[in-house]
Amino acid sequence: MTGGETRPLLKDGGFKLALFAFNNTGGLSMTAAEGRIVPTWDNQVRLAQMADRAGFEAVIPGARWKGYGGASDYAGTGFETLSWAAGIASVTSQTTVVATVQVDTIHPVLAAKQAVTIDHISGGRFGFNLVAGWNQSEMALFGPALVDHESRYDRCDEWLDFVERMWREDEEFDVTGRFYKASGVLSKPKPLQRPRPVIINAAASGRGQRFVAEHADVCFTTAERTDDIRAKVAEIRQAVFDHAGRSIKVLGCLTVLCQDTEAEARRYWDYCIKEKGDREAGLRWAQSFTQNSKTYDEATNQRILASLDGAIAGLQTPQAVGTPEQVAAKIIEMSEAGLDGITISFIADWESELERFVSHVLPLLEQAGLRDPFVAPAISGARGA
């Protein structure tokens, strides 16, 4: 997917931006602070359209099936991501609209058909963020026990092979795999995108990196320190090249709190995290994440459990807290670490924070040469907008 690539997330050049996880209570932040995001369809549309008009390359929801309780009711209210993506696709025009999907929550036949539908609604702007499924309490809602880490990715391989065959094959075919069996499979229409919609995955383990190398266009990674980000990016790129002989886009994550002065930003952070931070929900998330995910080593897992501030503020993602200049400096630092872009979440007051980011931070990124000034396309890619 090189040369004439036109899809925003996959184009060469320019530091990519994606608005992330605003479809669930709190986004990435576990706070009971006034102004935390509680999703309604109206605020989903407003935020997605703000990002779309500003030239963000993607809007990406988080897949949550069950909240974490506590004073903030973290992730207790949330929109399912495939129907969310269909709705958001119809009211945007240029951004990639992503659905985050745990593969064991949906059969490949249904997922493939829904993805094609959204790809047509959007005019060829759909993307899948595939998750192997680490959250035990959520996966228990769907019946079978969570399989081991290696088998989870084996199932992802088989699931995506099944889906891609539906997108590609013009004659009926049978599936006789370890996890899926079907006969007489055929699906029309095919996706508008060629060779298929954008595939995203977050790979931390060696097995995950193999999945990314074999299947993904974009890989998420996260670490709190810039040096660790640099090392992870290099590791992922090398693994993909060694296994598949190709390159890949790598995105990081950033939680942003931007105010006019650093003092204001720090005061607001203290209010949201120190005063109103939901330690009950934070502990529940940290215990589940450190037990079931392979994102961090054991020493990091123990540090997460010992001090919950990072979990509460942004699920251990890096943070940019300060003035527009300080936020821009953090993003430039992450670019210099080798990332092709970042997902962005806000701690609270998402609409005002996004407005401030667009009006005050984006111009600084343009001045630094990370992004070109965005000019909206003359022809809308939305259907029904």
- Residue 4 inside a domain? The answer is no
The answer for residues whose C-beta is within 8 angstroms of residue 159's C-beta and 6 or more apart is 103, 108, 111, 130, 179, 180
pLDDT of residue 297: 55
Contact 212, 240 (CB under 8 A): yes
Angle (nearest 5°) at CA 275 between 274 and 279: 65
Residue keyed to tokens 């931007």: 258
- Residue 11 inside a domain? The answer is no
pLDDT of residue 383: 45
Nearest-angstrom CA–CA distance, 89 and 136: 31
349 has a pLDDT exceeding 60: yes
- Residue 374 inside a domain? The answer is no
- Residue 349 inside a domain? The answer is yes
301 has a pLDDT exceeding 60: no
- Residue 48 inside a domain? The answer is yes
* The two structure tokens encoding residue 295: 């994102």
- Residue 211 inside a domain? The answer is yes
294 has a pLDDT exceeding 60: no
Q: Total structural domains in the chain?
A: 1
Nearest-angstrom CA–CA distance, 44 and 327: 24
Q: Quick: pLDDT tens for 66-76.
A: 888 999 999 99
pLDDT of residue 384: 42
* The two structure tokens encoding residue 263: 């003092």
CATH code at 111? 3.20.20.30
- In the structure, what pLDDT confidence band is assigned to residue 306 with cuts at 50, 70 and 90? low
Dihedral through CA 380, CA 381, CA 382, CA 385, nearest 10? 0
Q: Which of 319, 321, 331 is nearest to 28 (CA)?
A: 319
The pTM for the full model equals: 0.91
Would you mind telling me the total number of residues written for the chain in this entry?
385
pLDDT of residue 377: 58
- Residue 7 inside a domain? The answer is no
Domain residue limits at 282: 16-367
- Residue 232 inside a domain? The answer is yes
- In the structure, what pLDDT confidence band is assigned to residue 385 with cuts at 50, 70 and 90? very low
